Amino acid sequence: MKFLESPPRFLFFTGKGGVGKTSVACATALELADRGLNVLLVSTDPASNIGQVFGITIGNTITPINAIPRLSALEINPEQAADAYRERIIAPVRGLLPESELAGIAESLSGSCTTEIASFDEFTNLLTDDTVYGEYDHIVFDTAPTGHTIRLLQLPGSWTEFLDAGKGDPSCLGPLSGLEKHKTVYAQAVRALADPTRTRLVLVSRAQASSLNEIDRTFGELSKIGIAGGFVVINGILPTLAGEEPLAQAVRDREAAAIVAMPATIAALPRDLVELKSGNMVGVTALGLLFSGAASGEAPARDRDAREIADEPLRTLVDDLERDDHGLVLCMGKGGVGKTTIAAAIAVALAERGHDVHLTTTDPAAHLTDTLNSSIRGLAVSRIDPVEAIRHYRDHVMATKGKDLDAEGRAALAEDLMSPCTDEVAVFREFSRAVHESRRKFVVVDTAPTGHTLLLLDATGSYHREIARQVGDSMSFVTPLMRLQDPDLTKVILVTLAETTPVLEAEELQQDLERAGIHPWAWVVNDSIAAARPDSGFLRQRAANELEQIDRVRAVADRMAIIPLLPLEPIGETLLADLTDGIAQPA
């Protein structure tokens, strides 16, 4: 592998969700440890699953991988990091201040701003603190999906610039009290990220146009902040099969065409191709074979004919949704499972049936226009762009809160609004508008990958609790969370693949939603090889490996749909309609 030749100390793996970043990062850590090097594998994804890959529990503390000498792992859990961060600030004054004041400090440290700062604090320490992390020859970062990785890697500069300029909004004073003293550390982190002798960026993709375009955008964004030089890994390439059937040949042709047409900037970077394995990338044995030419990553699947799977088209879910003439449909799940495609297919189907539909996304890395290539009557398409949301929010605050201030006051308010803490508030404000709109039309939301969706829902819950505290029993009120909890208005659809990790993560997401009083309405298993009923031995083994996961979904889902792997990517109105109706495409 080219990207493993003379690697620097820090390796960052990034890319669109679901392309196999975790598998590639874990296999890389294993390879470096096998070379006799001390390696720390770090996940910066709120929905981390490296513990699932190795079959052990990994949290916010360094955990040795006992099966692999010289390899340890760490998951930067946002909530655990925030708890530890709060404790570092409060502990020195505990016993010196009244409990009421301590409670006030804790309250000031309870928002998403603190969560972001705390995770970021740990991230920068990994880049700069040789006292704690100096024993590791390499630190391998398995990052969150691209939109949030860009945000994370921009933060050292964002916070450094902000702290140089001002003190921040009052809502951020608590978090910032523990942040400002680390300005030197953040400056060091910026230098480490920009130094190619210390940091290597590895852009992981599938052989799909949308995935390759995403890493091209990522590379451009990161180049702007000084992270130059990169390597491309195209993962999951379907190998040449003996007695190849039309489906396999169509998929291979589609992959080859995507690679030929990849953007010129990333086409010029060093590139590695990693073949798809017949088994899942779970366990040390499977990971050890990922970069090899071995055919399978696990033992043969149980003897069960996957071609017996029943047809369960997405159309049946659309039929149920249509019984109302409005409502909120939230497509949630792990990155890369096809939330954007499923959301677009549902929106198109409802619009084709004469309904007024608004399709939108909260995912910074989503591009709905890549899936819909024409306008459809009755369908409005938008994206909650964090940059635009922040600009609108700042303009709104300046026009309202700042309207009657003098020049000095307006300048101070404008400076406060430059805080990176503003982002979550601004995006939540736009999301709340979409929730409100669903009272009179269908609003279909393609959400950000799981961990960041939960942060958004947490903001929704925090807003609900604050309104309830302020209003008390004096008057009735309705918050976005109450609308999300209303099964007559909101339908949550969990999208997954028939693979171990996506299903496990979707199950955990369902549990998190249940704790928030939101019960998932349906599940969709996307890109199922079993549902495509293949003939070749390789694909039939992949299909048989799916059956256990499909059974797991069936056991927890109130209703479900299974979408077969299609020879052509479902882009455009016609192919999205075929996906919804379960119509097999010609190979």
Q: Are 356 and 442 in contact (CB under 8 A)?
A: yes
End-to-end CA distance of the chain: 32
- Residue 112, token pair as written in the block: 């998403």
338 is annotated as an active-site residue: no
Helix (H) or strand (E) run with residue 328 in it: strand 327-332
Phi, psi (5° rounding) for residue 233?
-120, 115
Helix (H) or strand (E) run with residue 422 in it: helix 422-437
Compute how many other C-beta atoms are within 10 angstroms of the C-beta atom of residue 81.
Answer: 22
- Residue 212, token pair as written in the block: 């390759």
Identify the CA nearest to 254 among candidates 229, 237, 271.
237
- For 277-291, letters b (16+ CB in 10 Å) and e give bbbbbbebebbbbbb
- Residue 571, token pair as written in the block: 């882009």
Q: Which of 20, 174, 279, 338 is an active site residue? A: 20
Is 440 buried (19+), middle (13-18) or exposed (0-12) by CB count in 10 A? exposed
Q: Which of 15, 17, 22, 168 is an active site residue? A: 22
d(CA 518, CA 482): 9
438 is annotated as an active-site residue: no
450 is annotated as an active-site residue: no
Q: Which of 14, 15, 16, 23 is an active site residue? A: 23
3-state secondary structure of 561: strand
Question: How many Cα neighbours within 13 Å face the side chain of 15?
Answer: 30
d(CA 531, CA 3): 36
Q: Which of 17, 18, 230, 333 is an active site residue? A: 18
- Residue 495, token pair as written in the block: 């999208």
DSSP state of 238: P
Q: Are 32 and 73 in contact (CB under 8 A)?
A: no
Q: Are 47 and 449 in contact (CB under 8 A)?
A: yes
d(CA 431, CA 446): 11
Strand partners, 275: 237
Q: Which residues contact 477 (CB under 8 A, 6 or more apart)?
A: 467, 468, 471
Q: Which amino acid is at 488?
A: D
333 is annotated as an active-site residue: no
Q: Which of 16, 21, 334, 491 is an active site residue? A: 21
580 is annotated as an active-site residue: no
174 is annotated as an active-site residue: no
Cα–Cα–Cα angle for 387, 391, 397, nearest 5°? Answer: 145
Q: Which residues contact 152 (CB under 8 A, 6 or more apart)?
A: 44, 119, 120, 123, 143, 144
Estimate the share of the chain in helix, then strand, then coil, as percent rounded to the nearest 5: 50, 15, 35
Q: Which of 44, 45, 278, 451 is an active site residue? A: 45
Q: Which residues contact 180 (CB under 8 A, 6 or more apart)?
A: 163
22 is annotated as an active-site residue: yes
Helix (H) or strand (E) run with residue 174 in it: helix 173-177
- Residue 480, token pair as written in the block: 């976005």
d(CA 317, CA 476): 34
Q: Which residues are catalytic?
A: 18, 20-23, 45, 501
